[in-house]
Amino acid sequence: MAAQILGGLLVASLLLLLPWRPPIPLPLAAALAQGLAAALAARWLRAPSWWQGIHLLFMPLVVLVNGLHLPPILWLGGFLILLLVYWRTDLSRVPLYLSNRPTAAVLASLIPAESGFVVDLGCGTGGLLVNLSSSRPDCHFTGIEHAPIPFLLAWLRCRRLKNVDIRYGDFWALNLHPCQLVYAFLSPVPMPRLWEKARAEMSADALLVSNSFAIPDVMPEQVVAVGDARDTQLYCYRPGQADRAVTE
């Protein structure tokens, strides 16, 4: 959303300043320029490459499809599909981010050597858990997702995996105490709240791993570079030891 807004503001400014008009219809030209600006803004915000592509194509496709004069019911159907995919991101402030295979490989190495309980907060379509399930069959993995379509896809992908459990719901209601490792790929907005929850619930030796988003004003135990195309960084914390460090 931020990238779309930045792109729209940039294009609006250019249209007001340019002394000439483009050779293609103005709405399409503006949409193409807005898509390019939004994609560049998304790249600047370090969004995943597939998300940058969505920003690039979204507004041009809206303009092109609008010219087809489709029945209103199709627009309603498209809106409902998007709602079921992204659900209430306006409230959660957490978009749909998907973790790639290199991230899964590095994360598997961070799980304790002994079998343990791992949870993915906001598991999306379950790809990370599928990869972890095969690389660490000795562990039990739980994914929780509140968006209906990603949850359904995750459940379908993981339903035959004996060491993976997919739950529908709000991860804020999940007790993190049994977890040896908690993984989160959220956004900057909920990180302070997640830190407070993890401090209150996670055991002293349990590890909190945040993909890409550091917890403000908290020094991570380590930062692990995944080495993938998007330069993913995994921020690792021991929330259960935070209060002990303060008292000492």
Q: What is the pLDDT of residues 151-170, one digit of tens each?
A: 999 999 999 999 999 999 99
Instruction: Give how far Cα 98 sits from Cα of 15, 187, 227, Å.
Output: 35, 12, 16
Ranges of the chain whose pLDDT falls below 50: 1, 3, 244-248
10 Å Cβ neighbour count for 110? Answer: 15
pLDDT at 174: 94
pLDDT at 178: 92
What is the value of pTM for the model shown? 0.72
Given a contact cutoff of 8 angstroms between Cβ atoms, the answer to whether 142 and 118 are in contact is yes
What pLDDT score was predicted for residue 144?
A: 96
- Would you tell me which CATH number, out of the four given (3.50.50.60, 3.65.10.10, 3.40.50.150, 3.30.470.20), belongs to the domain 101-247? 3.40.50.150
Bridge partners (DSSP) of residue 222 are: 236
> The sheet that has 222-225: what strands, in order across it?
164-168, 140-145, 117-121, 181-184, 207-211, 233-237, 222-225
Cα dihedral 234→82→50→99 (10° resolution):
30
pLDDT of residue 248: 42
Q: Give the three-state DSSP class for 144.
A: strand
Give the start-to-end residue ranges of the domains of the chain.
Answer: 2-69, 101-247
